[in-house]
């Protein structure tokens, strides 16, 4: 089944690479936000940063055939609006024909490899705005870690600001995922206190010459109403990592999704690698939290 289809992907990449762009341009597009004003995205840009682990499995996302099978299962659910991924993944999904009528957001800055000495140097190594436009995608996503103790932050802020401006010029979503971060004992940590998340929202909201097309992708933290109250920009909340008992996480998501300005969610490993391996079931639980049955 899918294994045979992914074998075909490998043949296309070897013998007919032009077919990749042709498949992307044939993709049937849709409005970014549907009639219910919500947006539900599956995120699959972790591998590009060398972040392959899920739970106790350090290489869960290393098998590309398995990852694509899980993504196809997720995208088959009518509640899922689309995907957030790097060029290699989006191109595979276009060739597989599973992005018809779906939203495709290109992940842009994946240079801060997890665990590296340069992890906070989130430079742009994946999509640029020209290619996002050229391949008919619906927007671009940027990781924006703000680390006051790391000089690389200045370059990241500047590059994200330029990308926000350029995406807005093309009337495309600019999705910023900000974190207030620091390095302790050689390990990068994101500060998930309410105060730190609010500070990251304040800085990232002002990036670029206009915020007309800017969305924020934010973690669910304590006092989430204060976080969302720090901006008028549309907000997507993160789905978090898989947990054995997800009822508390779902309760937190439901509470966050009920706040004014929160327009949906973007989740990755919690959906693609649930503890019971039931991707469709994990999607349906998240969809219920979003108000979609």
Q: The CATH number of the domain where 32 resides is what? A: 3.20.20.70
Number of domains into which the chain is organized: 1
Cα–Cα distance, 181 to 121 (Å, whole number): 12
Angle at 261 between CA 198 and CA 157, to 5 degrees: 45
pLDDT (tens, 9 = 90+) of the chain, 293 residues, equals 576 788 999 999 999 999 999 999 999 999 999 899 999 999 999 999 999 999 888 999 999 999 999 999 999 999 999 999 999 999 999 999 999 999 999 999 999 999 999 999 999 999 999 999 999 999 999 999 999 999 999 999 999 999 999 999 999 999 999 999 999 888 999 999 999 999 999 999 999 999 999 999 999 999 999 999 999 999 999 986 665 555 667 788 899 999 999 999 999 999 999 989 999 999 999 999 998 87
For residue 90, tell me if it sits in a domain. Answer: yes
For residue 197, tell me if it sits in a domain. Answer: no
Strand 173-184 relative to strand 187-191, pairing: antiparallel
For residue 206, tell me if it sits in a domain. Answer: no
CA dihedral 71, 72, 76, 78 (to 10 degrees): 30
For residue 19, tell me if it sits in a domain. Answer: yes
Residue 82's domain spans which residues? Answer: 2-109+124-143+215-290
pTM: predicted TM-score of the whole model, two decimal places:
0.95
For residue 184, tell me if it sits in a domain. Answer: no
For residue 260, tell me if it sits in a domain. Answer: yes
For residue 161, tell me if it sits in a domain. Answer: no
**Nearest CA among 135, 156, 145, 158 for reference residue 23:** 135
For residue 281, tell me if it sits in a domain. Answer: yes
Q: In this structure, which long-range contacts are made by residues 272-276, counting pairs with CB atoms below 8 Å and at least 24 apart in sequence?
A: 272/42, 272/44, 272/61, 272/67, 272/70, 272/71, 272/74, 273/54, 273/55, 273/60, 273/61, 273/70, 273/242, 274/242, 274/246, 275/55, 275/242, 275/243, 275/244
């Amino acid at each position: 089944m899918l294994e045979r289809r992914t074998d075909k992907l490998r043949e296309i990449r070897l013998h007919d690479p032009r077919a990749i762009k042709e498949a992307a341009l044939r993709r049937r597009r849709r409005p970014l936000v549907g009639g219910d004003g919500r947006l539900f995205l599956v995120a699959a840009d972790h591998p590009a940063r060398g972040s392959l682990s899920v739970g106790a499995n350090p290489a869960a996302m290393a098998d590309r055939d398995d990852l694509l099978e899980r993504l196809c299962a997720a995208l088959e659910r009518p509640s899922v609006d689309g995907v957030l991924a790097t060029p290699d993944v989006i191109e595979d999904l276009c060739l597989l024909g599973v992005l018809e009528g779906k939203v495709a957001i290109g992940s842009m800055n994946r240079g801060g490899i997890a665990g590296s000495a340069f992890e906070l140097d989130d430079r742009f190594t994946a999509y640029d705005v020209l290619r996002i436009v050229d391949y008919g995608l619906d927007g671009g996503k940027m990781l924006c870690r703000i680390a006051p103790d790391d000089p690389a932050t200045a370059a990241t802020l500047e590059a994200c600001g330029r990308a926000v401006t350029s995406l807005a010029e093309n009337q495309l979503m600019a999705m910023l995922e900000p974190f207030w971060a620091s390095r302790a004992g050689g390990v990068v940590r994101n500060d998930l206190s309410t105060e730190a998340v609010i500070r990251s929202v304040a800085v990232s909201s002002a990036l670029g010459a206009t915020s007309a097309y800017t969305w924020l992708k934010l973690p669910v933290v304590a006092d989430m109403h204060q976080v969302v109250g720090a901006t008028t920009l549309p907000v997507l909340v993160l789905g978090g990592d898989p947990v054995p008992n997800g009822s508390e996480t779902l309760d937190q998501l439901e509470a966050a999704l009920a706040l004014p300005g929160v327009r949906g969610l973007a989740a990755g490993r919690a959906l693609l690698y649930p503890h019971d391996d039931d991707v469709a079931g994990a999607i349906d639980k998240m969809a219920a939290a979003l108000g979609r049955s």
